[in-house]
Every structure is written in structure tokens, then in C-alpha cells.
Amino acid sequence: MRLHSLRRRHALAASLLTLSLTYGGAAGADPGPAPGPAAGPGEATNLLVAGLDVRSGLTRQEIDRLHVGGKECGCTDVLMLVHIAADGRRLSVVSLPRDSYVPFAPHDHPAHSGKINGAHAHGGADLTVRTVEQATGLHIDHYLETDFSRFAAAVDQLGGAEVCTDVPLADENSGLDLPAGTQVLDGRGALRYVRARHVSPPGDLGRVRRQQRLLLGMFARLADARLFRNPAATARTAQALLTHVRTDDHTDAGTLLSLARSLRDIGPRDAEFATVPIADFDHRVPEWGSTLLWDEPRARRMFGALRDDRPLTAAFPSGGPVPVGMPPAETRVTVDDPRIADGLRASGFAVTAAPEPRERPDGPTVVRYDPEQIRYAPSLTAALPGARLRPVAGSGHAFRVAVGSADQEVRPVTYDRSMVEGAPVTGDTLRCPHPAAETAENSP
């Protein structure tokens, strides 16, 4: 059982590296100048992974097959920082949302800021790398980019990707139509899954989390197939995957093999995923429209942890109010217990007192609500752990809280959408339920 567990960890290392190289949009120009000398032995390594929104190399048939219609922008659709710890025992992936509003590094234009995805259109890979380095304070050792068709081909070559969802997911724009449960996606399905923006949670942060879940799902498939159980198989796969990406001039199959060997002992709990913290999700800028402003203090803390080669989860410890994705003040609640009402008011919920019953019903607290208000439910249930939700069509805008005989805790909550959708989490929390995998990994 120990040998199987080590093989699973080796597969995770290789899959994280190779899948990091195949995220993203469409291929464009050659990456251009190398970002700088690669990290030396015993040093942490930072990779910047870019996917470009370009369709010029695709035929009409390919566009239809991959469901990637629309106007190209020549910009980066995906930017991900991949940090490999110096000791090879931790891997951190930080997504940089494409609408992030940051100052561009110096280039052949007057100094200005813009959406981070526009740096590529202004100055190619070189400006993209320098802008990310300026915004994060991190040195980029390797740069990689890919395209729609190559992404799909890479997923197919690696045996598909396992994903799971509690509810059906459908997005007309990306072509996603996924039933509830666990499925194994082929390349086309994986592309639709990682590009979807109009499913819950919506927008780029929700899409980033799905990309991260796909990465862990790929690990499960690779581990089950034992694809990386020997060095020869790893070498062949790395060489083949390089046909699906473009790299800087000092990143080759040997680089990937070296990194994979340094990570052979990593497990899901040692891989962490996050999105740079956001302070404003709708910062309006002339010529750029709606943009995202980073939460500078927390962003500095995140990138400082990477610069110091420390875990992201340690830089953002748990504790304090529970972050929720909707402002409590926008959630109307009627409550029949004064203590619970006061607790919810303390977190900012719009609370109206209801008459107390003569006798509390047996069991937990019950929250009745109109299904039209479902997007507010997670914020309320975070404040009332253990409460049972009961949808009642036509019951109005307010959530009606009937406190039962069971002890009901009220937890303080705070609106923090960034931490709800992008807080640092370890890989084991993102994976689909996989009993066989858990048994193998936890076996002595």
C-alpha cells in the first residue's frame, strides 16, 4: 500500500505540472523573450501560465466543434502563477483574474494602467511577464501559453478529467451542459467546463475554482491509470505535452522532468489553490469598463508568502467572522426568537421580529424561503449552522426563521466575496469524493 500511495503522489506532481501548462485560451504569437534565468537548485520556482483569447489559427469547423465562437481580443484569458517550493513539498497555484486593474510595466506607450489581460495585446508575452512581476513582486522563472484545440488534445491524451457538481451546470456561451454528479470529461467537455462564466458561482472567480477542480480531477484519473509509475512514462508524456504548449527558450521536457522529480513526494494536502484577493468587483474605468481592484493589503500578504516560500494557508489563517458571498444587509429575515434575531442583526442582516410560538417545535431551526431568493441562502445558513432550508414558492422576499427546540448557534458573518470564492484551500478539499483514492493515500 505504501508503494501505491507514493505513485499517487508522483502522479499528482506530474499532473499539476502538465495540466498547469494546458489551461487557458487560444494560441497567439510566439512567447518572445525569456522572462529571466531559471531558478537554481534548492530555490523556489515560479511559472506563469497564460491562455490567449485568439482564434486566428482555428478553422470554422474547429471553432464550432470546440464551441469557441466570438471576437478575439489578442489578450490573456487566463493567467495563473504556479509556485513550486524549494523543498519540493508544496505547490501553490494563484489565479490572477483577467479583469484585474493594474499598472502596466514600462513599454512603448505613456505610463498607464489597464486590465491585466490587455498587457499581451499591448506588448506580447514580454510585457505580460513584466507586468505580473511588477504587480506581484515575484520573479517569473518560466512562461507558458496554449490554445483551445491544444488544451482539448492534452486532456484527451491524459485520459480525461474527473469533475463533480451537486447541481446541473449549463452555460450557453461555453456550451457546457453538465448533469449533477461525477463525470469524466473529454477534452471538449473540459474546455467548456473551464470556460463557463454563467453558472453558479458566476463570473471569473467561479470559473477559476472550476479550473482548479478540473486540475485535481485530472490527478484522480492519472493516479487511477498509474500513468506516471515509471520515469520512462513520465518522460514520454512530458515530451508529448510540449507539443500542446509554447514555452520560453529555457523551458523544455528536461525542465518538466526535473520539476516532476522534485515533487514526487507531494500529496493533495500539499497543493494549494487561491485567487488574488479582490476589494472591488466593479471598479469603473473609462476605456476599460468594469474592472477588478485587488485588495492590496491582502494581496501583498499572499505574494509575500510566495516570495518567502511559505504556505498561502498559513498567511490567511482561519478564525473570526465567517466570510459570505452576499451582503447580509441585502438579506431580509423574520425571526421568532429574540436571541437569534439579535445575533443576526449583529452581522448586519435586515431582521424583523416575529411573534414567539407558545412551544418550540421539536428539531432544528427551519428556514422557509422563496426559491427566487436562493442566492442569499448560503449567507444565512452560514450564520445559522444546522438550520434546515425549506423552499416555499411565492413566500416573498424575506426568509422566515422558525427556531426549533434544538440549540441554535449564531455565527458572526461578514461580506467577503473574495474569500468565499478564492480563499486559499488545499487540494484535498477541492477533489471529488473518491473513496478508493482516500483509502490508498491514507494507508500506512
Could you count the other beta carbons within 10 Å of the beta carbon of residue 217?
Answer: 28
pLDDT at 437: 44
> Residue 294: CA atoms inside 13 Å, Cβ hemisphere, count?
23
pTM for the complete prediction?
A: 0.81
Can you give the pLDDT at residue 43? 85
Do the Cβ atoms of 348 and 328 come closer than 8 Å?
A: yes
> Around Cβ 8, how many Cβ atoms within 10 Å?
22
Fold type of domain 2-320+419-442: Aminopeptidase (3.40.630)
What Cα–Cα distance (Å) separates residue 393 from each residue in 311, 376, 396, 399?
45, 15, 8, 12
What pLDDT, on the 0 to 100 scale, is given for residue 190?
Answer: 87
Q: What is the C-alpha separation between 308 and 37, in angstroms, rounded? A: 19
At 112-137, the pLDDT tens digits run: 999 999 998 888 889 999 999 999 99
Instruction: Give me 192's grid cell.
Output: 467548456
Domain ranges of the chain: 2-320+419-442, 326-415
Spatial separation of the C-alpha atoms in residues 315 and 318, rounded to whole Å: 10
pLDDT of residue 187: 86
Tell me how far apart the alpha carbons of residues 211 and 200 are, in angstroms, rounded to a whole number.
14
User: Which tens digits make up the pLDDT trace of 285-315?
Assistant: 999 999 999 999 999 999 999 999 999 988 8
pLDDT at 36: 52
pLDDT at 262: 66
Cα–Cα distance for residue pair 35/127, rounded to 1 Å: 10
Q: At what angle do helices 435-442 and 2-20 cross, to 10 degrees?
A: 120
- pLDDT < 50 regions, the chain: 1-14, 20-30, 32-34, 435-444
The amino acid at residue 305 is: A
